[in-house]
Amino acid sequence: MTGINPAHAAMPPRHALAVLHPVKVRAPGRLRLRAWHGLALAAFVLLSGGAADAAGGPHQASVFAILVKWTPLLFRGFLFNILISFLSMALGTALGAFLGLGLISIHRWTRRASWSVTQFFRNAPWLVLLFFAIFLIPFQIRIGSVVIPLPGWVKAVIGLSLPVMANVAEIVRGAVASIPSGQWEAAESLGFSRHQQIWSIILPQCVKRMLPPWMNLYAILTTSTVLASIVGVSEVMTLASQITAAEGGRTDILTPLYGYILIWFFLYCYPIARYTVRLERRFAVKI
């Protein structure tokens, strides 16, 4: 019997498959706000202001002088936008948290009702909900001899809180679903009730998972508060239209004026976007 060549014995058969290395899956690229985006926006406003001054008449006030003149009024309107965003986010978060708990309820009809409400307000246009809130909510509520007025900005807060409520409910449901099932089983084996499992074990672990999408939702809400101008709320966009009318309806100041407001929103939302990215990296679930 002839011996086997050691060199041939060390060689794998020709039909053997090569070892496959693990595939590195890259997350899809996404556009992230950078500081140079704000600088480019500021440069655009400066150039548009210079072009407007060049196109204007010799006796007209410069665009930059107009912006400086009306900055205090615009800033008060911008603060009103921030106030609307705070109140809408607070109300929407409170309602959305309970609606999200309804989505994970053990009662079938509670889950179905919560799902219907969530899908309706989540997929409805924000402006349509805002119009419904303006026209369906009364201007005042009488409780006995006490009359409580409901101005337009209060209705705007209610209208904007409805889509926030639906999105927060989905954030809560998704965070609870991301908790490993072993946490539920361990809590049940220790004799915890359903209420204790949710409030003492599951929800505390969900907070860090809900925080990044919650902050992202707030940034979207802040930029959407300008919709309140369409229903007559005196926020920054409404004041911008009034300033244009006060300056004689000059169309050459529209681009610099709205670009000026855009810079304010960018400066406010950019840190939120950057901090949201940091939280996503910090709280990312390692698989």
What are the tens digits of pLDDT across the range 217-252?
A: 999 999 999 999 888 888 899 999 999 888 888 888
Domain total for the chain? 1
Tell me what pLDDT residue 47 has: 55
φ and ψ at 142, to 5 degrees? Answer: -105, 120
Tell me what pLDDT residue 38 has: 54
Average confidence (pLDDT) over 99-109: 92
DSSP structural state of residue 17: P
* 149 in a structural domain: yes
Other beta carbons within 10 Å of 190: 10
* 23 in a structural domain: no
* 114 in a structural domain: yes
Tell me what pLDDT residue 256 has: 87
Average pLDDT, the chain: 81
**Residue 80 pLDDT grade (very low, low, confident, very high; cuts 50, 70, 90):** very high
Q: Return the SS3 of 42.
A: helix
Average confidence (pLDDT) over 184-201: 86
Tell me what pLDDT residue 204 has: 87
Q: Are 123 and 163 in contact (CB under 8 A)?
A: no
Average confidence (pLDDT) over 182-191: 85
| Closest of 255, 222, 209, 185 to residue 86, by C-alpha | 222
| Closest of 180, 205, 200 to residue 190, by C-alpha | 200
Work out the end-to-end distance of the chain between its first and last CA atoms, rounded to an integer number of angstroms: 54
Tell me what pLDDT residue 239 has: 92
* 14 in a structural domain: no
Range of the domain at 188: 36-281
Q: Kindly report the CATH number assigned to the domain that includes residue 131.
A: 1.10.3720.10
Average confidence (pLDDT) over 121-131: 93
For the record, the structure tokens of 147 come out as: 């009359």
pLDDT of 60 > 60? The answer is yes
* 236 in a structural domain: yes
pLDDT of 287 > 80? The answer is no
User: Which residue is listed with tokens 């930029």?
Assistant: 223
Q: Specify the higher pLDDT residue, 284 or 56.
A: 284
**Residue 13 pLDDT grade (very low, low, confident, very high; cuts 50, 70, 90):** low
Tell me what pLDDT residue 43 has: 59
Inter-axis angle of helices 254-282 and 35-55, nearest 10: 180
CA 177 to CA 189: how far, in whole Å? Answer: 19
Tell me what pLDDT residue 45 has: 56
* 13 in a structural domain: no
* 9 in a structural domain: no
Q: Are 23 and 219 in contact (CB under 8 A)?
A: no
* 8 in a structural domain: no
